[in-house]
Amino acid sequence: MTGAAIVFLSFSAVAPKDYESQNRTTSREAIDAGRLEFKERPRLDGASVCELHTCGGVSRCGRMANIRVDHSLELAGPVHGLTGVVTLTSQSALRMLLFVCACVLPSFWVSFAAVGAMRWIAPRLGLIDKPAARKVHLVPKPMGGGIGLWCGVLIPLTGALLIVFFAPELLPVKIPGKTISADGSVLYRLPQLLAVTLGALAMGLVGLADDFRPLPWQPRLFLQFLISAIVVACGVRATFFVESFWLGAIASVLWFVVLVNSINFLDNMDGLAGGIGLIVSGVFACMMLSRADDPRWMVGGYFLLLCGSLLGFLCHNWSPARIFMGDAGSYFLGFSLASMTILGTFYTAEDGRTHTILAPLCVLAVPLYDLLSVISIRLKEGRSPFQPDKKHFSHRLVALGLKPVHAVLTVHLATLTTGLAGLLLCSVDSWGAALLCLGIVVCILAMIAILESAPRPAIAGSSLGTIPVVAMSAAAGPEQSVTEVSASGRELNSHAADRSSTDVSARNW
């Protein structure tokens, strides 16, 4: 934990702009062609930002440069823009690797231990998912995995904040002055960071209350909107392309609620929600840390903490699961992802690339697709959108004949594909290339829709035209507790056929 705190804060706590201004170096040499002046500005990630200047300003040579200077720094890249990047390859890679390990490893071990402890504590607290006629598992299973997920994120993060405030001498990079106010620093982001952390914890507590005693959907939805509105009022809101407070606030609240329920809806099979959260967090971490001009160390570090915590949880939740995440975990995970995508600031006026605002939609395309498709199916059947059923994406894949573990892996691969398309979207500079990335996401979702519309195979010995839904291990919560074995509301022709289908379901699981 101490290692995570030291390295995490070494990047996120120090104000980059102040640090660069204090360590700016003068020109090392004059470049003969065009009377250019070379200036190097070291950055905290081990790289150096370099600029080529003429007497009239920044050079716009319109050619590629490959200039060797002292300290073995190499300038490579187009010089027609404002800046090039000089990279100390070994130091930069080492510090990035150290940063990733210091965030992921402590959160992994904390989560692994906490979830393991909850496997023993949860039954004694009554936090268990008991067998029932509409459930598959034959023995009670604990539902406290979400609490371990909280610990994996909040404990290392708290340790990091304590070190930066009370023991800054432990940091490998000295914090300039006692007060840090520049963009990207801890004190500048502290109100937002506290709002996000407390909001995620409050959302998790709502889910925990629902795990102990299922709540009606009305109070749960009200509390989701209330917590989201409070966090948005603390400054965690999207700005889009206009500086309208109400537009950004309304969109941000809806984003929180939609994403919380999207992750909660997907928590219906062993390893499903945790795996999707791991993939999405990893992709977003790459987006935040791969920005050569301005890496988002704090947001990227938070995503890495989520990755480590989810890895520790999946060690206990992968099929066959020994513990369930429950609403306590899915609410916390969904809220954390929503808040960090807002703080990540995918679009800025200085950057000018408006298409990057679509990157989160690409990465989260599969969870959003599942939410919208399930709601549309329920409305089409004349039922409430909040009535739980077995019509989720993963359930529909199992209805096609896939084993539950294969259905989970299929959803994971679809999420990874759309996530990589979103990662590519952030690296392109034109709308034409961005449309190609969006086309990949649309094609993936179209393939999923076509696959789901395929006719169901019939079971031998049964006159049904559809295969019964395979029984599966369901996670805790109202969306996850429904495990009906019948398909399309029909019954098998005989008791023998019913018993046969149940045996097939058990073997597949």
Is 264 annotated among the ligand-binding residues? yes
pTM over 0.85: no
Helix (H, G, I), strand (E, B) or coil at 28: coil
pLDDT at 418: 92
Give dist(CA 106, CA 5) in Å, integer. 9
Locus of tokens 């029932």? 132
Locus of tokens 């019509």? 391
pLDDT at 315: 95
Residues in the chain: 509
Element containing residue 295 per DSSP (H, E): none
pLDDT at 72: 33
Closest listed residue to residue 504, CA positions, set 475, 469, 474, 473: 469
Give dist(CA 437, CA 395) in Å, integer. 28
Whether the CA torsion 16, 18, 19, 21 is positive or negative: it is: positive
- Within 10 A of 19 (CB to CB), how many other CB atoms are there? 21
Cβ neighbourhood burial of 496 (10 Å; 0-12, 13-18, 19+): exposed
Give dist(CA 248, CA 126) in Å, integer. 41
Give dist(CA 355, CA 426) in Å, integer. 8
Output the tens digit of pLDDT for each of the chain's 509 residues.
444 444 444 444 433 333 333 333 333 343 444 444 445 544 444 444 444 444 443 333 333 333 333 333 333 344 333 333 333 345 567 778 888 888 999 999 999 999 999 999 998 898 887 765 445 456 778 888 999 999 999 999 998 888 777 776 666 544 443 334 334 445 667 788 899 999 999 999 999 999 998 899 999 999 999 999 999 999 888 876 667 788 889 999 999 999 999 999 998 888 999 999 999 999 999 988 887 556 678 888 899 999 999 999 999 999 888 999 989 999 999 999 999 999 887 766 566 677 788 889 999 999 999 999 999 988 998 888 888 778 888 888 888 888 889 999 999 999 999 999 988 888 777 677 778 788 888 888 888 877 776 665 544 443 333 434 333 343 444 444 433 333 334 333 434 444 333 333 333 33
Assess whether the previous peptide bond of 320 is cis (omega < 30° from 0). yes
pLDDT at 399: 84
Is 327 annotated among the ligand-binding residues? yes
pLDDT at 146: 93
